[in-house]
């Protein structure tokens, strides 16, 4: 069995480092020291050590996810995927985490974030739309579903597709002469169609674009 040889304040205000008799250490949430009744020179049995590992993983994972959602809105699926990768890296740094199941820890962290309304789907969708204004409605829906967003009740303004196509055309700057060439025009249609735009919207946007030439 291990013994806690030291409980030392960490660099972060809410963190302490638990040092053990095998010269290993774990970053730990300061409130959990009191919660679990931990003391210097305390011998830790298997059950207590499992509680310490769970609490340390939860603390590190929660702090990581709070930083992530502070950068930009996230969905449950994104956070879950990021936590899995984060715990894989953390396991390589702290040997006591090796072999410890993290699925329940990830669920607990996500529940904690949801209880604080930090995984708001509407906020994520707004942020995603702002960053992907040039993408088609179909493409946006597909990408959002990949991020774990329930798109069944999602309402997107289809007229934005024509504006998106116009922005693409403004960047490509095809001339009337260029678009008279059947092959060139067909390639442009194909390119826009592959991006998820409907043929009718492509035609309407190109017609509008040509009137301004």
What is the number of domains present in the chain?
2
Q: Over the chain, what is the mean pLDDT? A: 90
Asked if 2 and 16 count as a contact pair (C-beta separation under 8 A), the reply is no
* CA angle, residues 26, 30, 35, in degrees to nearest 5: 100
Instruction: State whether 131 and 82 are in the same domain.
Output: no
Q: Is the pLDDT of residue 4 over 90?
A: yes
Cα separation of the two ends of the chain: 80
Phi, psi for residue 192 in degrees, rounded to 5: -70, -35
Asked if 145 and 128 count as a contact pair (C-beta separation under 8 A), the reply is no
Q: Is the pLDDT of residue 206 over 90?
A: no
Instruction: State whether 163 and 206 are in the same domain.
Output: yes
pLDDT of residue 172: 82
Q: Tell me the pLDDT band of 48, cut-offs 50, 70 and 90.
A: very high
From 73, 90, 119, the end of a domain falls on 119
How many Å apart are CA 82 and CA 73, to the nearest integer?
13
Q: Tell me the pLDDT band of 49, cut-offs 50, 70 and 90.
A: very high
Q: Is the pLDDT of residue 103 over 90?
A: yes
* CA angle, residues 15, 21, 22, in degrees to nearest 5: 100
How many Å apart are CA 133 and CA 101, to the nearest integer?
40
Instruction: State whether 115 and 31 are in the same domain.
Output: yes
For residues 138 and 43, the model is more confident at 43
pLDDT of residue 105: 97
Mean pLDDT of 90-105: 93
Asked if 27 and 69 count as a contact pair (C-beta separation under 8 A), the reply is no
How many Å apart are CA 205 and CA 163, to the nearest integer?
7
pLDDT of residue 30: 95
Instruction: State whether 15 and 56 are in the same domain.
Output: yes
Please list the alpha-helical segments (H only) found in 102-198: 103-115, 121-131, 137-146, 160-172, 176-180, 182-194
Instruction: State whether 53 and 37 are in the same domain.
Output: yes
Strands 2-9 and 25-29: unpaired
pLDDT of residue 212: 66
Asked if 210 and 202 count as a contact pair (C-beta separation under 8 A), the reply is no
Instruction: State whether 6 and 110 are in the same domain.
Output: yes
pLDDT of residue 213: 63
From 99, 119, 139, the end of a domain falls on 119
Report the share of the chain in percent with pLDDT over 70: 98
Instruction: State whether 153 and 115 are in the same domain.
Output: no
Return the closest-CA partner of residue 140 out of 195, 79, 78: 195
Give pLDDT tens digits for 147-164: 999 888 777 766 678 888
How many Å apart are CA 172 and CA 205, to the nearest integer?
13
From 119, 141, 175, the end of a domain falls on 119
**Range of the structural domain that residue 176 is part of:** 122-211
Instruction: State whether 114 and 10 are in the same domain.
Output: yes
Instruction: State whether 71 and 145 are in the same domain.
Output: no
pLDDT of residue 163: 82
Instruction: State whether 130 and 195 are in the same domain.
Output: yes
Instruction: State whether 39 and 115 are in the same domain.
Output: yes
Mean pLDDT of 205-210: 82
How many Å apart are CA 167 and CA 77, to the nearest integer?
31
Least confident of 33-37, 52-56, 177-181: 177-181
Give pLDDT tens digits for 170-195: 888 887 777 777 788 888 888 888 88
3 state DSSP class of 38 = coil
Give pLDDT tens digits for 111-148: 999 999 999 988 999 999 888 877 888 888 889 999 99
Instruction: State whether 9 and 111 are in the same domain.
Output: yes
pLDDT of residue 11: 83
Torsion region of 41: left, alpha or beta (phi above 0 gives left; psi -120 to 50 gives alpha): left
């Amino acid at each position: 069995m291990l013994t806690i040889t030291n409980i030392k304040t960490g660099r972060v205000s809410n963190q302490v480092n638990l040092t053990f008799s095998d010269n290993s250490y774990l970053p730990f949430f300061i409130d959990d020291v009191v919660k679990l009744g931990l003391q210097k020179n305390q011998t830790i049995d298997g059950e207590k050590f499992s509680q310490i590992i769970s609490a340390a993983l939860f603390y590190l994972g929660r702090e990581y996810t709070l930083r992530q959602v502070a950068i930009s809105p996230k969905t449950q699926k994104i956070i879950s995927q990021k936590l899995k990768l984060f715990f894989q890296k953390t396991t390589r740094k702290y040997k006591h985490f090796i072999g410890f199941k993290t699925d329940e820890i990830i669920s607990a962290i996500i529940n904690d974030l949801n209880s604080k309304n930090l995984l708001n789907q509407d906020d994520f969708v707004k942020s995603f739309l702002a960053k992907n204004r040039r993408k088609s409605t179909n493409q946006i829906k597909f990408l959002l579903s990949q991020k774990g967003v329930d798109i069944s009740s999602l309402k997107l303004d289809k007229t934005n597709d024509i504006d998106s196509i116009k922005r693409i055309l403004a960047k490509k700057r095809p001339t009337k002469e260029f678009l008279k060439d059947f092959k060139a025009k067909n390639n442009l249609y194909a390119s826009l169609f592959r991006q998820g735009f409907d043929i009718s919207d492509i035609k309407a946007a190109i017609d509008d674009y040509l009137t301004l030439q």
